[in-house]
């Protein structure tokens, strides 16, 4: 068996404890609420009979371990429970909301990569002014909170220029053009900070590769600077850049919670925030579960890509 | 500590690091003074509602204008800054309080202690930061104290990991072996030889994280999950003003600028400290 395959299997097995811990935390959300969570959910006007009924429905009248096992078994069969406000099955709600969050984060990451990597390469290879300008972009990109950037973008593009809608959502399947028009501002909001991180990582990764002896050798051989950067440096800087992109997906998913609320996008993030405000714990649990699962899967895929790009990673882990 | 200072002196001071530290430090000092003296500096009561001044444009008496309820935006920004700084700094301080001993123990004793501490802390990283904060608030209910606890927990694994790496490096020094050979106990070695020399990178990381803590606190308050009204908070002000953004942009511009300035102050200070005290990049 190749070392990379061993690494892949080990990494895959590592997701099991991660998923387990995550599921325990999500399971405990409802159980750790101080006082009586069912009474909190239903409000103080609820009758004792109502409270007892919901408690039974949520399985809260059983021993904790039984509750967890039942909950996990139901989850694995696709039964996520019901929203206690709208009484809609949470699996349906998730199916509606998931595409919105996935579209938002995927487009934002794509834009951040398109901006960040080329600028990062320029920052590593360019002159003094290129370096200063990109440094400024990094500092401001990291320091401006995404929610404020979003507000300013709305003020400019929706308020003053009136060329984009301030908030709202149309499904892609219904009207792709309108969907993208609604997505432009949220995606810009999320992508700006990410682009700054990717720029910074690309810059430092490329700079450190360009310092290595093999680059001096390539230069001495008369290889063109462009071929050195794109053919050799970028290939070597790849694992570092991919690792940061993978980690930043977590930041994007967190940012999506704010951006969805801000632009009235019906995604999972907004579902969680509304859920918390309505004390709608089952919905909060499903939302947190969905976002955390996406993050764990993305981390897994990132590590596998990194090991594929740089076999030394697999060697270090597998031997 | 004296060793750390001596090693600093022997190294040629990096010009940009001291400039960044001075700019960041000065900005932060100014913000701290504003926050501390809020009751003296604020021109108006931040919670005083004035019907005649609803969405009033900036003028001489109200340089930042007034909000939906006619409250003075400048006074609210000053008080909001105070809350944001208190919450984010106490979160980072709280996190340090646990991260430093955990990192020290893990890095110094190694073996199963290291594995247990490191793997245990890694579990926190299973969740994206914002999601973990939101999960905490879902359980304990919204509020600034819960927000501070959530931020502290999020940063615990990051700070502890830096402290662990730093401890590992310092532990290899001859003076540590020497102290042990002279019969000093583990705890004495940790407290008087390792901790003072290993703290540099973790302080650098803490100041960088303060910038993120500030954004996180503002983000949570923006969602209505952090500091609760009527206490003014920068994030809460941004949330309140969203409906009137086009009519009264000052309600949104100034609180946001205050966050940007505070975050920049921590970023400059952190970056300057990093270049000066952590050239090996342990804190990254």
B31-53+61-277 topology per CATH: MetI-like fold (1.10.3720)
> Distance between the two ends of chain B, CA-based, in angstroms?
22
Query: For residue B262, what pLDDT is reported?
Result: 92
Element (H, E) at B86: helix B73-109
Contacts of B7 (CB under 8 A, 6+ apart): none
> Among the ranges A160-164, B26-30, B53-57, B195-199, which has the highest mean pLDDT value?
B26-30
Residues of A with CB under 8 A from a CB of B: 18, 21-22, 25-26, 28-29, 32-34, 139, 142-148, 151-152, 154-155, 158-159, 250-251, 253-255, 257-258, 261-262, 272-273, 275-277, 281, 284, 288, 291-292, 295-296
Q: Of all residues in chain B, what percent carry a pLDDT higher than 90?
A: 23
Query: For residue B1, what pLDDT is reported?
Result: 40
Cα distances from A77 to residues A64, A81, B155, in angstroms, run 20, 11, 35
- B31-50 pLDDT tens trace: 999 888 888 887 878 877 77
Query: For residue B87, what pLDDT is reported?
Result: 92
Out of B129, B131, B215, the one facing A288 most closely (by C-beta) is B131
Q: How confident is the model at residue B11 (pLDDT cuts 50, 70, 90)?
A: very low
Asked if the model's pLDDT at residue B9 lies above 70, the reply is: no
Identify all chain B residues contacting A131, using CB atoms and an 8 Å cutoff: none
Helix axes B129-140, B195-222, angle to 10 degrees: 70
CB contact under 8 A, B131 and A257: yes
Query: For residue A8, what pLDDT is reported?
Result: 87
Asked if the model's pLDDT at residue B12 lies above 60, the reply is: no
Torsion, CA A153, CA B150, CA A73, CA A13, rounded to 10: 90
Out of B138, B253, B264, the one facing A276 most closely (by C-beta) is B138
CB contact under 8 A, A258 and B223: yes
- B179-207 pLDDT tens trace: 888 878 888 888 888 888 888 888 888 98
Q: Where are the alpha helices (DSSP H) in chain A?
A: 3-32, 37-42, 48-57, 64-76, 90-125, 128-143, 146-153, 176-210, 213-221, 225-227, 234-262, 268-277, 281-309, 311-318
Q: What's the rounded Cα separation, in Å, for the pair A142 and A140?
A: 5
Query: For residue B152, what pLDDT is reported?
Result: 94
Element (H, E) at B266: helix B250-277
CB B99 within 8 A of CB B195: no
Contacts of B190 (CB under 8 A, 6+ apart): B104, B105, B108
Query: For residue B2, what pLDDT is reported?
Result: 42
Q: What angle do CA B155, B265, B278 make, to 5 degrees?
A: 60
Query: For residue B10, what pLDDT is reported?
Result: 43
CB B254 within 8 A of CB B57: no
Which residue, among A156, A254, A282, A302, would best test binding to B if mutated, counting the most B CBs under 10 Å from its CB? A254
CB A208 within 8 A of CB A123: no
Q: What's the rounded Cα separation, in Å, for the pair B129 and B51?
A: 40
Query: For residue B67, what pLDDT is reported?
Result: 79
Residue B66 pairs with which residues in a beta bridge?
A: B72
Q: What's the rounded Cα separation, in Å, for the pair B38 and B54?
A: 23
Query: For residue B277, what pLDDT is reported?
Result: 75
Asked if the model's pLDDT at residue B88 lies above 80, the reply is: yes
| Complex confidence, ipTM | 0.85
Domain residue spans of chain B: 31-53+61-277
Asked if the model's pLDDT at residue B279 lies above 70, the reply is: no
Asked if the model's pLDDT at residue B72 lies above 80, the reply is: yes
CB B131 within 8 A of CB A26: no
Residue A82 pairs with which residues in a beta bridge?
A: A89
Out of B128, B135, B235, the one facing A251 most closely (by C-beta) is B128
Query: For residue A1, what pLDDT is reported?
Result: 63
**Ranges under pLDDT 70 in chain A:** 1, 316-319
- B236-265 pLDDT tens trace: 888 888 888 888 888 888 899 999 999 999
């Amino acid at each position: 068996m190749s070392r990379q395959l061993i690494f892949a299997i080990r990494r895959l097995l590592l997701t099991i404890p991660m998923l387990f811990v995550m599921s325990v935390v999500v399971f405990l959300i409802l159980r750790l609420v101080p006082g009586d969570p069912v009474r909190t959910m239903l409000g103080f006007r609820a009758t004792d009979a109502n409270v007892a009924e919901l408690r039974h429905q949520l399985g809260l009248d059983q021993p904790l371990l039984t509750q967890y096992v039942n909950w996990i078994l139901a989850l694995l069969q696709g039964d996520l429970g019901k929203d206690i406000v709208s009484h809609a099955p949470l699996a349906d709600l998730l199916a509606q909301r998931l595409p919105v969050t996935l579209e938002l984060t995927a487009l934002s990451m794509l834009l951040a990569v398109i901006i960040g990597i080329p600028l990062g390469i320029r920052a590593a290879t360019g002159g003094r002014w290129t370096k200063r300008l990109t440094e400024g972009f990094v500092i401001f990109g990291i320091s401006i909170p995404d929610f404020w950037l979003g507000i300013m973008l709305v003020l400019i593009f929706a308020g003053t220029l009136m060329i984009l809608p301030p908030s709202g959502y149309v499904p892609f399947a219904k009207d792709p053009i309108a969907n993208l028009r609604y997505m432009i501002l949220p995606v810009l909001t999320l992508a700006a900070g990410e682009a700054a991180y990717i720029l910074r990582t690309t810059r430092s990764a490329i700079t450190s590769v360009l310092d290595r002896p093999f680059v001096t050798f390539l230069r001495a051989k008369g290889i063109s600077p462009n071929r050195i950067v794109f053919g050799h440096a970028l290939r070597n800087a790849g694992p570092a850049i991919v690792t940061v992109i993978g980690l930043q997906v977590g930041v994007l998913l967190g940012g999506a919670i704010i951006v969805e609320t801000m632009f009235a996008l019906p995604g999972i993030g907004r579902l969680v925030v509304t859920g918390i405000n309505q004390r709608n714990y089952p919905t909060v649990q499903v939302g947190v579960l969905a976002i955390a699962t996406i993050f764990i899967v993305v981390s897994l895929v990132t590590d596998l890509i990194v090991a594929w790009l740089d076999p030394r990673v697999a060697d270090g882990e597998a031997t | 500590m004296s060793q750390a200072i001596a090693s600093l002196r022997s190294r040629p001071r990096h010009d940009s690091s001291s400039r960044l530290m001075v700019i960041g430090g000065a900005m932060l000092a100014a913000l701290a003074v504003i926050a501390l003296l809020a009751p003296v500096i604020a021109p108006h009561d931040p919670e005083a509602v004035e019907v005649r001044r609803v969405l009033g444009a900036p003028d001489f008496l109200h340089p930042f204008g007034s909000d939906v309820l006619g409250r003075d935006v400048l006074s609210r920004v000053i008080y909001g800054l105070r809350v944001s700084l208190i919450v984010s700094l106490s979160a980072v301080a709280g996190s340090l309080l646990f991260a430093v001993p955990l990192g020290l123990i893990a890095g110094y004793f190694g073996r199963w202690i290291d594995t247990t501490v490191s793997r245990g802390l890694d579990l926190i990283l299973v969740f994206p930061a914002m999601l973990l904060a939101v999960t905490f608030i879902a359980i304990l209910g919204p509020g600034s104290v819960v927000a501070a606890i959530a931020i502290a927990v999020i940063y615990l694994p990051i700070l502890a990991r830096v402290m662990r790496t730093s401890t590992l490096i310092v532990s290899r020094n001859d003076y540590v072996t020497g102290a042990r050979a002279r019969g000093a106990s583990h705890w004495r070695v940790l407290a008087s030889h390792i901790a003072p020399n290993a703290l540099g990178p973790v302080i650098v990381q803490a100041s960088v994280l303060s910038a993120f803590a500030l954004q996180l606190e503002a983000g949570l308050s923006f969602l209505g999950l952090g500091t609760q009204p009527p206490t003014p908070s920068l994030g809460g002000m941004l949330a309140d003003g969203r409906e009137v953004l086009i009519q009264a942009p000052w309600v949104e511009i100034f609180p946001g600028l205050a966050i940007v300035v505070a975050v920049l102050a921590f970023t400059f200070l952190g970056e300057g400290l990093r270049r000066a005290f952590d050239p090996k990049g342990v804190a990254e």
